[in-house]
Structure 1
Amino acid sequence: MAGSPTKRGEEDVTMAQTERTPLLPSKRQDLVEDVYDDYHEASVPSAVFNLSTTIVGAGIMALPATMKVMGLPLGIVTIIVMGILSENSIQIMLRYSRPSGARSYGGLMADAFGQFGRVLVQLCIIINNVGILIVYMIIIGDVLSGSTSDAGKHYTGVLEEWAGGPTWWNDRTFVLFSIAVVVLLPLISFRHVDSLKWTSALSVALAVVFVVIIAGVTVWKLFAGEISWPRLAPDVHDQASFWKLFTVIPVMVTAYICHHNVHPIANELAGTADSSDNKMQHVVRWSMFLCGTIYLFTATFGYLLFGEGTSDDILSNFDTDLGVPFSNVICVIVRISYAVHLMLVFPLLNFSLRLNLDAILFPRATPLAHDTIRFSIITGFLICCVFFGAAIVPNIWIAFQFTGATATVCLGFIFPALVLLKDKPLLATRRDKCEAIIMVILAILSSVVAVTTDVFNLLEPEKQAGTPSGLSRYFL
């Protein structure tokens, strides 16, 4: 019979990896499409919390360094503008998802550009998530084993301080390998995000601790008159320093990226389809406002606190006396809390990374959670790639520039703008299309400049100050 349990069960497996299965799976990720479609239990506050958690990650660590490049006023404006642009791009995704019935980013791109669009967005999600996970590992290594800046200054890690200097057990490679095997591998071995609900709650609390402490220390030193006057304009003295300004854009884009988790969160909102769409628009606005506020506080107070000595990873700056009571305790709390936060957030990004990689490699296979061998192989492969990537990439600024200037820019700006320009349901006005064209052009230009500048800096790390790099070479 067409409705028999046996036949129905076979259909369940076939339908399990449709567009209604979220990129970041919920506790019902293995349920069939029509059952998942009835799962509308999330409230607006919980959706704001989930989307904000997706946004706030390692990107916050590099934001104070962007202030050092841009100067305080321009840096603040850039953070605000990038937040507004990111919100607009998400609103475009939501606007065009309803007519097409898309339940994921891949489904939206597939509706506009066919299977090629779906595969392209999946590849970008993989590149973006791998890059961010490598950044997580780099930061964890910086915190525990220390790091050395381009100028040769060494920032002491927590384990180095406890051991009184470098030893075999606080060596960076050994520490990262141990963390990957003992902590991260067990966490990413869970097949459902719901299994990580308590660790996720703890990770959010630890992120809040970081923001509160850095703001409190800075305000204390401001009242004590120990904060020097910040630089108010970019330090542009030659073409090389001018082109370096563009390397800030990918970092900003990475800080706000959450587009691959918008649909899964929207799918779970309570109410009808119409009310859920309206609620999700509010969720996006509140999330962007909340995260933008956190970013402004962190970037501003972080730069005021450390000035021109601000590291690419601001956690590395917390290896010295801050000039406040209980400075040593505060530094240890800040570094350890955020390192643990990243360890706990790591499996969330790994979930969407693993599902998208599996969808590309095995598009017609049974659901990943039902195949233990395939699940284990992909999980092990990904943790190895992230570990070796963290060992090779010199610092988070480099990682942010490459991933932020390529896959992340595509996910955050180029793809939503192209969907609007395609305008399959005929919703765009002439003004919308002009704005989309400008968005694509600016995104591509900033990406090309950032990537070429970074490549030349990597190939010529010992070039003399003032020597042009990146695209500036071609204009001299």
Structure 2
Amino acid sequence: MELQKLSNGNHHEATGSLDGGIRHEEEMFQQHKTDAGSKGPHFTDFHGKTSFGMSVFNLSNAIMGSGILGLSYAMSNTGIVLFLILLTCIACLSCYSVHLLLRSAGVVGIRAYEQLGLRAFGQPGKILAAVAITLHNIGAMSSYLFIVKYELPLVIQAFLGQTSSSDDWFMNGNYLIIIVTGCIILPLAMMRHLGYLGYTSGFSLTCMVFFLSAVIYKRFNIACPLEVFGNYSMNSTLSEGTCNAKLFTINPETAYTIPILAFAFVCHPEVLPIYTELSNPTKRRMQNIGNVSILGMFIMYFFTAVFGYLTFYENTEAELLHTYNKVDPLDTLILCVRLAVLVAVTLTVPVVLFPIRRALMQLLFPERPFHWLRHIAIAVCLLFCVNLLVILVPNIRDIFGITGATTAPTLIFILPGLFYIRIIPSSQEPINSRPKIQAACFTALGFIFMTMSLTFITLDWITGVKRSHGGH
């Protein structure tokens, strides 16, 4: 379907073109009455079959990322109350961002992020959205496979009862990620519809609930100070407040934590694909899915952060599992938790891959019908590139930092706000109306987050001080 491009002329001409485009596009969709009796634009060639619960599992799995392992460290740099305030604000902003996307999609009947870019800004908008989705999700997939690369050999080593690493091939992380990709990730990524991954997403979330349960349990079984630390052991370097929780903390790491928390809620490329495959799709139904998913992850994030922080206090490391490993490397419960996290991140990779493939399909083959060979070939190429990146690049923290500092604010703040301003007709909401002013402020907030992130990453490079954080 050929979408009408916006004129590059003045605002009045752009608005007229937009209104005409809406009428033209609405003719391309049939109006079907939903069960609630309301009307809305629906695709004529696809009827979603994914239930509300499965959609919640998929979106929650898309939100949940490797950053959950670094939230306790983030709390140690903000304090409990300040962390809760920041987490609440960012969760609410994420819900508002989902609202902007669904409102824009509902006006024109488009349920693809990059197609909204095309509708709002023409081909440059489509390319920008597709590139942002691709870069961000490739970074997320790579971070998950990095966890597999470094954690899976430790799990195998513990199961074999070995105290030191060996040169056996099954202890080589590079071989292991290839095996995991070929045997688990690729078959799941070959599925045609995202809704089918609801079962694996539910199992992945169950693994992370087990991780949270273990964190809570260990809070009451590990004494502070940590006498069992191998190179720590109750020496004179202990400060008086080592085991005191802080409510508010301001240090150079605090400002760096804010965008990290924002990245933890990036799920927006997955919102519209999940909306497309939802049974009985309505804006309110999908908004409820977004709200429930974000609320669930908010609760999980906060409890993981607070109980991890109250276990180790000032000794909390950027990767929480590493801190437990220092207490007792052979702890059976932590070994099971490590295995559960590995399963969770492995099952998340196919969910993250779907929006990349959809973006590439919209960019490279916009008019082509579905074809299995193309569907599988794109998945194989993407996984090959991600595996190559994880194997060949020893440390891609800075690459992830740059892409994360630019693509995450773009996807969660900047583009949803700009889409809303451009797509919603001025006849419905003038440019000076409160909803559009709010969207403009929301977009400006994204630019502020981007500037902060890039500033602190640049300071890291200049000063040579490396800060370790969990990504999304």
Q: CA deviation at 1:112?
A: 1.9
Distance of aligned partners of 1:455 and 1:159 in 2 relative to their CA distance in 1, 3 Å threshold? farther
Q: CA deviation at 1:127?
A: 0.9
Distance of aligned partners of 1:342 and 1:98 in 2 relative to their CA distance in 1, 3 Å threshold? same
Moved more, 204-213 or 52-61: 52-61
Aligned twin of 2:299: 293
CA distance in 2: counterparts of 1:191 and 1:269, whole angstroms: 14
Is 1:231 the counterpart of 2:237? The answer is no
Q: CA deviation at 1:408?
A: 1.4
Aligned residues of 1:69 and 1:234 also touching (Cα < 8 A)? yes
Aligned twin of 1:180: 181
Q: CA deviation at 1:90?
A: 0.9
Deviations 1:334-354 (A, max 9, x none): 100110111122112112222
> Of residues 433, 442, 447 in structure 2, which corresponds to 1:444?
447
Aligned residues of 1:44 and 1:283 also touching (Cα < 8 A)? yes
Q: CA deviation at 1:314?
A: 2.0
Aligned residues of 1:254 and 1:400 also touching (Cα < 8 A)? no
Aligned residues of 2:78 and 2:254 also touching (Cα < 8 A)? yes
Q: CA deviation at 1:52?
A: 1.9
CA distance in 2: counterparts of 1:163 and 1:460, whole angstroms: 39
* SS of match in other structure, 2:419: helix
> Of residues 308, 317, 320 in structure 1, which corresponds to 2:314?
308
Aligned twin of 1:167: 166
Is 1:280 the counterpart of 2:286? The answer is yes
Aligned twin of 1:136: 144
Aligned twin of 2:61: 53
Aligned twin of 1:96: 104
Aligned residues of 2:102 and 2:283 also touching (Cα < 8 A)? yes
Distance of aligned partners of 1:225 and 1:338 in 2 relative to their CA distance in 1, 3 Å threshold? closer
CA distance in 2: counterparts of 1:125 and 1:347, whole angstroms: 15
Q: How many residues align?
A: 408
Distance of aligned partners of 1:301 and 1:118 in 2 relative to their CA distance in 1, 3 Å threshold? same
Deviations 1:402-434 (A, max 9, x none): 333111111101011112333532344633333
Distance of aligned partners of 1:385 and 1:460 in 2 relative to their CA distance in 1, 3 Å threshold? farther
CA distance in 2: counterparts of 1:220 and 1:376, whole angstroms: 48
Aligned residues of 1:62 and 1:397 also touching (Cα < 8 A)? no
Distance of aligned partners of 1:248 and 1:19 in 2 relative to their CA distance in 1, 3 Å threshold? farther
> Of residues 261, 271, 277 in structure 2, which corresponds to 1:262?
271
Q: CA deviation at 1:460?
A: 5.3
- Counterparts of 1:377-392 in structure 2, within 5 Å, are 377-391=377-391
CA distance in 2: counterparts of 1:313 and 1:19, whole angstroms: 48
- RMSD of aligned residue pairs (Cα, Å): 3.3
CA distance in 2: counterparts of 1:53 and 1:398, whole angstroms: 25
Q: CA deviation at 1:189?
A: 3.9
Distance of aligned partners of 1:47 and 1:310 in 2 relative to their CA distance in 1, 3 Å threshold? same
* SS of match in other structure, 1:167: coil
> Of residues 69, 79, 82 in structure 1, which corresponds to 2:77?
69
CA distance in 2: counterparts of 1:68 and 1:397, whole angstroms: 21
Aligned twin of 2:359: 356
Deviations 1:409-467 (A, max 9, x none): 1110101111233353234463333333332233213212312432442465369x9xx
CA distance in 2: counterparts of 1:51 and 1:219, whole angstroms: 32
CA distance in 1: counterparts of 2:421 and 2:166, whole angstroms: 57
Higher helix proportion: 1
Aligned residues of 1:67 and 1:303 also touching (Cα < 8 A)? yes
Moved more, 427-436 or 122-131: 427-436
Aligned twin of 2:218: 217
Q: CA deviation at 1:265?
A: 2.7
Aligned residues of 1:250 and 1:404 also touching (Cα < 8 A)? no
Aligned residues of 1:19 and 1:102 also touching (Cα < 8 A)? no
> Of residues 62, 71, 90 in structure 2, which corresponds to 1:82?
90
CA distance in 2: counterparts of 1:97 and 1:396, whole angstroms: 35
CA distance in 2: counterparts of 1:388 and 1:458, whole angstroms: 25
Q: Which amino acid aligns with 2:260?
A: V
Q: Which runs of 5+ in 2 are unaligned?
A: 1-27, 31-41, 228-241, 468-472
- Counterparts of 1:14-29 in structure 2, within 5 Å, are none
CA distance in 2: counterparts of 1:223 and 1:321, whole angstroms: 11
Deviations 1:308-347 (A, max 9, x none): 3333232333323369xxx711110110011011112211
CA distance in 1: counterparts of 2:353 and 2:29, whole angstroms: 19
Name the % identity.
27
Q: Which amino acid aligns with 2:390?
A: A
CA distance in 1: counterparts of 2:381 and 2:155, whole angstroms: 29
Distance of aligned partners of 1:168 and 1:452 in 2 relative to their CA distance in 1, 3 Å threshold? farther
Q: CA deviation at 1:395?
A: 6.7
Aligned twin of 1:454: 457
> Of residues 23, 31, 45 in structure 2, which corresponds to 1:35?
45
Distance of aligned partners of 1:400 and 1:215 in 2 relative to their CA distance in 1, 3 Å threshold? farther
CA distance in 2: counterparts of 1:400 and 1:285, whole angstroms: 28
Q: Which amino acid aligns with 1:35?
A: D
CA distance in 1: counterparts of 2:55 and 2:109, whole angstroms: 20
Q: CA deviation at 1:178?
A: 3.7
Distance of aligned partners of 1:90 and 1:339 in 2 relative to their CA distance in 1, 3 Å threshold? same
CA distance in 2: counterparts of 1:225 and 1:96, whole angstroms: 52
Distance of aligned partners of 1:204 and 1:66 in 2 relative to their CA distance in 1, 3 Å threshold? same
| TM-score using structure 1 length | 0.75
Q: Which amino acid aligns with 1:188?
A: A
Aligned residues of 1:405 and 1:447 also touching (Cα < 8 A)? yes
Distance of aligned partners of 1:421 and 1:394 in 2 relative to their CA distance in 1, 3 Å threshold? farther
Distance of aligned partners of 1:142 and 1:308 in 2 relative to their CA distance in 1, 3 Å threshold? farther
* SS of match in other structure, 1:320: helix
Aligned residues of 2:77 and 2:254 also touching (Cα < 8 A)? yes
Q: Which amino acid aligns with 2:155?
A: V
Q: Which amino acid aligns with 2:248?
A: A
